[in-house]
Amino acid sequence: MMIRVKLIANYREALPPEAKNGVVELDVPDGTTVYDAISRFDIPLNDESVIVLNGITVDMNTTLIEGDMVTAFSAIAGG
Amino acid sequence: MYGWHLKILRVNLTTKKVTQEDVDPKIARDYLGGRGWAIHYLYKEMDPMADPLSPENILIFATGPLTATPAPTGNRYMVVTKSPLTGALAHSNSGGEFPTWMKRTGFDMFIFEGKSPEPVYLFVNEDQVEVRSAAHVWGKDTHETTDILKAETSQDARVACIGQAGENLALMAAIMNDKHRAAARSGVGAVMGSKNLKAVVAMGKKNPKLYDSAKMVSLSVNTSKNVGVDVKKGSNMRIYGTSYVPQVTNTLGILPTRNFLQGTFEHVNNIDGDALKNQYLIRHTPCYRCPLSCGRLTEVPDGKYKGKGEGPEYETISSLGTGCGVSDLAALLKANYLCNEYGMDTITTGMTIAAAMEMYEKGYISEEIIGMPLKFGDHDAMIEMIRKMAYREGFGNDLAQGSYRLAEKYGHPEIAVTTRKQEFPGYDPRGSQGMGLLYATSNKGASHMEGDVAYEEVFGVPVKENPLTTEGKPELVKHFEDSFALMDSSGLCVFVAIRYAFSKDRMILPERLAEMMNFSTGANYTPEEALKAAERVYNLERMFLLKAGSTEDTLPYRMLHEPLPDGPAKGKVVELDKMLPEFYKLRGWDEKGVPTKEKLMELGLPL
């Protein structure tokens, strides 16, 4: 199934060249979790990162469905 | 004494009399400095019911015990006064270089009273204090004013001044320092204008003596290493500043779009941090002694939006950009530069134009009244409105009163997204419930700088809280409000304080700030005392607010009754009634939000 991963600001350095506006499409097997999807990328997987599914705070073990968007950014932000 | 000079410079603009005063060391300790000292004097000396634009209002510039010390980002000052926009308290914060230079005059605080009959500026070089004519810079923008006043005083001086907006008493006028830095909110620039005070020029060599200089320097070096040298974190702020936040808030569906009619913006990629980096970024521009360096110099090199300056910050992108439905980045930069030059708060400016755009599209204000069409996304009309606001020309006079008075005048108060008549910053509280409680209860009206719980709800600092729920938010808001009162009073920038001291253990922040203030002042604060002092400051500000007659803690119609139509927070309104009673209880306030006698006595405040 197809899902999307979006990385923001400096995390975009971890994206492959085909990414557009920080978004890359991935073909992943059924049962893929938020953690599985995001751990493909070289970003910190601890409190330094905020990871959301379709903009919502969820458990990292949540199973993805077709069309989902996983977004990650550095927690050291603020405006 | 260490850390503080314990000296105030008092300037009566009516009589031109200048006096120096000592500060009682007990008051200094109990109220910390900066914002804390300022509210102590404001509450003691002025009638909270006074007209904010009358000579009876008092205008205070206040530095803290960490300003002009080696503390990283010990470079802030607060402007405290009664706001003409809100009728409530104003306390607006700024960094850059001016605050450090101000403290090096040997004074911690400048207090301005009365009103000069003609335009003047204040020049302070330690004990040389002169109220000089400003006739030759009246009418000039903040950049030209800064250049002229430095040329005629000293290139070693630093300047805080108002532009045309402040002179013309536009209610969103800011006080700009070092050209690009703003004590922006609540119309503090209009108060300066009402006093005919065009500028304050400061210089000197009186750095405060430190109680334990070696420990302060060592702590500063370590903090800078932790905060700024980390390549990923540091470079993030240096390249993007806050300009990447639109992508974050858009993801969460809380990016103010078209006057809060929506929470996501379809053209966000056109105006985000990467678009800025790839097209207009020149270099990062730090405030004095800042390891983070979030400021950025940008330039539109040619075309009709040609210009150069600092910014935009996130709050400017979410007001003049998405708030107005504007997706042309060059035009947005031009609007930002103009606000800095005229001396205007970009949040209130942008969101007031956004409200006017909605009213125009709904047919509540005609093209004839405005003088041109004013649709969402019309960036050229937006730029023209900024100029008209600064000069209060034509429809610009309506806009210069802010969105609350604008919407009320044209019969549709439900359009204004304000609390205490002040426009919301860039986090739609329908999708960040804690921010809703903050905006509703803030003593200075809607402001993220009153206690930015978006750090937890949005950015995950120090932990990620679910922004859509209300559980635990009253405690979170109180914690952030008190923490911000502590940081604002100390003279540190919240950006570094948050990165250095925010932790899952909520006592770490007062522990680390108390340690820093002790190295500076020798006042021997325990963390509990530092936090108690911050709570004292917050409650005294509340008392000022109540005496100024602004009492109701609520939210505008849209936030309580119009669910977000899009994004992850679709269908949500702010559930204020679920949070407010618990918040009052935690604060030790009664059911109307008034501090109880017991709370005032506990804090040693006047009953």
Tally the domains of chain B.
Answer: 3
For residue A5, list chain B residues with Cβ-Cβ distance below 8 A: none
Which of B186, B203, B220 finishes a domain? B203
- Flag if B459 and A56 touch (Cβ within 8 Å): no
Phi, then psi, of B437 in degrees rounded to 5:
-65, -40
pLDDT at residue B232, rounded to an integer: 47
**Three-class secondary structure assignment of B213-244:** HHHHHHHHHHHHHHHHHCHHHHHHHHHHCCCC
For residue B237, list chain A residues with Cβ-Cβ distance below 8 A: 76
Min Cα separation B445/chain A (Å): 18
Interatomic CA distance for residues B407 and B405, integer angstroms: 6
Nearest to A75 among B244, B274, B461 (CB): B461
- Looking at the structure, tell me whether residues B249 and B318 fall in a common domain: yes
Q: Which helix (H) or strand (E) holds B350?
A: helix B346-361
Does A79 score more than 70 pLDDT?
no
- Looking at the structure, tell me whether residues B318 and B175 fall in a common domain: no
- Flag if B248 and A49 touch (Cβ within 8 Å): no
Q: Which residue of B has its CA nearest to A12?
A: B274
Min Cα separation B390/chain A (Å): 26
CATH number at residue B576: 1.10.599.10
Nearest to A74 among B232, B242, B273 (CB): B232
Is A21 touching B (CB cutoff 8 A)? yes
Is B291 touching A (CB cutoff 8 A)? no
Pick from B379, B382, B240: nearest CA to B312: B240
DSSP B164: H
Q: Which residue of B has its CA nearest to A9?
A: B244
pLDDT tens profile B289-310: 888 889 999 999 999 999 999 9
Q: Is residue A79 part of a domain?
A: no
Pick from B477, B437, B509, B485: nearest CA to B603: B485
- Looking at the structure, tell me whether residues B384 and B427 fall in a common domain: no
- Looking at the structure, tell me whether residues B427 and B355 fall in a common domain: no
pLDDT tens profile A29-74: 999 999 999 999 999 888 888 999 999 989 999 999 999 999 999 8
**Angle formed by the axes of helices B494-501 and B473-490, to 10°?**
120
Q: Is residue B2 part of a domain?
A: no
Q: Is residue A37 part of a domain?
A: yes
Tally the domains of chain A.
Answer: 1
pLDDT at residue B566, rounded to an integer: 97
Task: Quote the domain boundaries for residue A45.
Answer: 2-74
SS3 of residue B369 by DSSP: helix
Going from the first residue of chain B to its last (607 residues), give the mean pLDDT of each consecutive group of 10, the final group possibly shorter: 96 98 98 98 97 98 97 94 97 98 98 98 98 98 98 98 98 98 98 99 98 94 70 66 94 98 98 96 92 92 97 97 98 98 98 98 98 98 98 98 98 98 98 98 97 92 91 97 97 85 87 96 97 98 94 95 97 98 98 97 95
Is B456 touching A (CB cutoff 8 A)? no
Interatomic CA distance for residues B331 and B307, integer angstroms: 10
Pick from B74, B55, B53, B52: nearest CA to B65: B74
Q: Is residue B403 part of a domain?
A: yes
Interatomic CA distance for residues B5 and B110, integer angstroms: 12
Is B315 touching A (CB cutoff 8 A)? yes
Min Cα separation A69/chain B (Å): 10
CATH number at residue B142: 3.60.9.10
Q: Is residue B587 part of a domain?
A: yes
Interatomic CA distance for residues A59 and B256, integer angstroms: 27
CATH number at residue A56: 3.10.20.30
Is B404 touching A (CB cutoff 8 A)? no
Task: Quote the domain boundaries for residue B580.
Answer: 423-603
CATH number at residue B404: 1.10.569.10
pLDDT tens profile B123-171: 999 999 999 999 999 999 999 999 999 999 999 999 999 999 999 999 9
Which of B409, B432, B462 finishes a domain? B409
Pairs of residues, one from chain A and one from chain B, whose beta carbons lie less than 8 Å apart: 89
**Strands lying side by side in the sheet with B197-203:** B128-133, B120-125, B197-203, B158-161, B175-177, B181-183
pLDDT at residue B497, rounded to an integer: 79
Q: Is residue B418 part of a domain?
A: no
For residue B274, list chain A residues with Cβ-Cβ distance below 8 A: 9, 12, 21-22
- Looking at the structure, tell me whether residues B387 and B489 fall in a common domain: no
pLDDT at residue B234, rounded to an integer: 45
Would the CA dihedral through B193, B194, B196, B200 be positive or negative? negative
pLDDT at residue B443, rounded to an integer: 97
pLDDT at residue B227, rounded to an integer: 67
Q: Which of B265, B313, B459 to mutate to test the interface with A (most CBs of A within 10 A)?
A: B459
- Looking at the structure, tell me whether residues B41 and B180 fall in a common domain: yes
Which of the four pLDDT bands, split at 50, 70 and 90, describes residue A78? low
- Flag if B273 and A9 touch (Cβ within 8 Å): yes
Is B234 touching A (CB cutoff 8 A)? no
Is A4 touching B (CB cutoff 8 A)? no
- Looking at the structure, tell me whether residues B356 and B486 fall in a common domain: no
Min Cα separation A27/chain B (Å): 22
- Flag if B236 and A12 touch (Cβ within 8 Å): no
Nearest to A71 among B251, B452, B461 (CB): B251
